[in-house]
Amino acid sequence: MMEERLNRDRAIKKWIFEISQNIKNEQKSNLKVEQKTTPNDLVTNMDKWVEKELIERIRRGYKNDRIVGEEGFGDTVSEMHGTVWLVDPIDGTLNFVLQNENFALMIAVYEEGMPVQSYIYDVPLDRLYTAIKDIGVTCNEQPIEPPSNRSLGEGLLATNSSILTKDRYKDIRKVTRKSLGLRLIGSAGLETVEVAKGSIVAYIATNLKPWDVAPGILFMEELGLKATQFNNEPINLLDNNDIVFAVPKAHKEIMAIIN
Ligand code: IPD
Ligand code: CA
Ligand code: CA
Ligand code: CA
């Protein structure tokens, strides 16, 4: 089983490097940007191309597996039986379009509902973060050690912007007041990585989609960190979730404040 995961690991890394070359080389003038539901919900021809390329490679090598992709080129999955891949071709599309930095390509592999391999690739910085079940977490092949278990008052916190802009989340803002300060990147994947590295003690975000949270769960598990919904229940990969990724101390404090 481990051999199979390591073979898959080599294949995934190769695909990520090949495909991301094109994201970097593509002339920004050729970018076609479309609005999905709202002016801040965008998709580009590059999001679609990356997802199609990844799905084509997965299907070629792993024909019995099922794939969930943000842009809709995958399968409809209503239970997590067998091997399921979750793909977010560009996490942080708004940043990709407006900043040309702070975005990532993300892949997660689940076996019988259990996370076994996760990849978060910071494309502009060429940093590949991986988590493999029972092996650990790396950045460009260098091991990442578990971060120190700090409390809210000893660290920085990241959230998504809805927590600050939508009134229904105003109670959650109590958490932000207890921390040393707030940071917003605009890519769930890169914010997850900040928790894994210990740069922030927690990432709190609302209404994330399965592909936004799927890789992060294994990063947290492998480092002894927490990944839950706001109500402390496990994250549900078949639905949208309000999530907390955090070191245990900060997680316990956050649960006490919001529940
Ligand atoms: C978004 C980013 C963002 C988060 C949104 C996500 P996308 O992903 O991760 O940080 O706040 O909820 O949808 O759409 O750019 O892949
Ligand atoms: Ca999107
Ligand atoms: Ca995303
Ligand atoms: Ca995306």
Instruction: Using DSSP bridges, classify how beta strands 66-69 and 83-91 pair: parallel, antiparallel or unpaired.
Output: parallel
Residue-number span of the structural domain to which 210 is assigned? 152-258
Measured in degrees and rounded to the nearest 5, phi and psi for residue 13 equal: -60, -40
Measured in angstroms, how far is the CA atom of residue 16 from the centroid of ligand 2?
Answer: 19
Cα angle: 8, vertex 132, 251; to 5 degrees:
145
Report d(CA 246, CA 165) in Å as an integer: 22
Residue whose CB lies within 8 A of the most ligand 1 atoms, among 91, 107, 195, for a mutation test: 91
- Indicate whether 52 and 177 sit together in one domain: no
Domains identified in the chain, total number: 2
Nearest CA to ligand 1 atom 1: 92
Q: Is 92 in the pocket of ligand 1 (CB under 6 A)?
A: yes
- Indicate whether 29 and 50 sit together in one domain: yes
- Is 220 a residue whose pLDDT tops 90? yes
Q: Give me the amino acid identity at 34.
A: E
- Indicate whether 175 and 104 sit together in one domain: no
Is the ipTM reported for this complex over the cut 0.95?
yes
- Indicate whether 80 and 131 sit together in one domain: yes
Q: Is 41 annotated as a binding residue?
A: no
- Indicate whether 126 and 182 sit together in one domain: no
Q: Is 208 in the pocket of ligand 1 (CB under 6 A)?
A: yes
What is the pLDDT averaged over residues 198-218?
A: 98
- Indicate whether 122 and 8 sit together in one domain: yes
- Indicate whether 190 and 220 sit together in one domain: yes
**Of 87, 110, 143, which residue constitutes the final position of a domain?**
143
Run of H or E residues at 221:
helix 210-222
- Indicate whether 103 and 30 sit together in one domain: yes
- Indicate whether 57 and 185 sit together in one domain: no
- The set of residues, in sequence order, having a beta carbon less than 8 Å from that of 148 and lying 6+ positions away, is 198, 247
- Indicate whether 126 and 249 sit together in one domain: no
Q: Is 186 in the pocket of ligand 1 (CB under 6 A)?
A: yes
Q: How confident is the model at residue 25 (pLDDT cuts 50, 70, 90)?
A: confident
**Domain containing 94 — which CATH number?**
3.30.540.10
- Indicate whether 75 and 172 sit together in one domain: no
Half-sphere exposure of residue 208: CA atoms within 13 angstroms, side-chain side: 37
> Strand, helix or coil at 207?
strand
Residues with CB under 5 A from ligand 4 (ion): 70, 88, 90
The confidence score (pLDDT) of residue 29 equals 73
- Is 28 a residue whose pLDDT tops 90? no
**Domain containing 177 — which CATH number?**
3.40.190.80
Q: Is 88 in the pocket of ligand 1 (CB under 6 A)?
A: yes
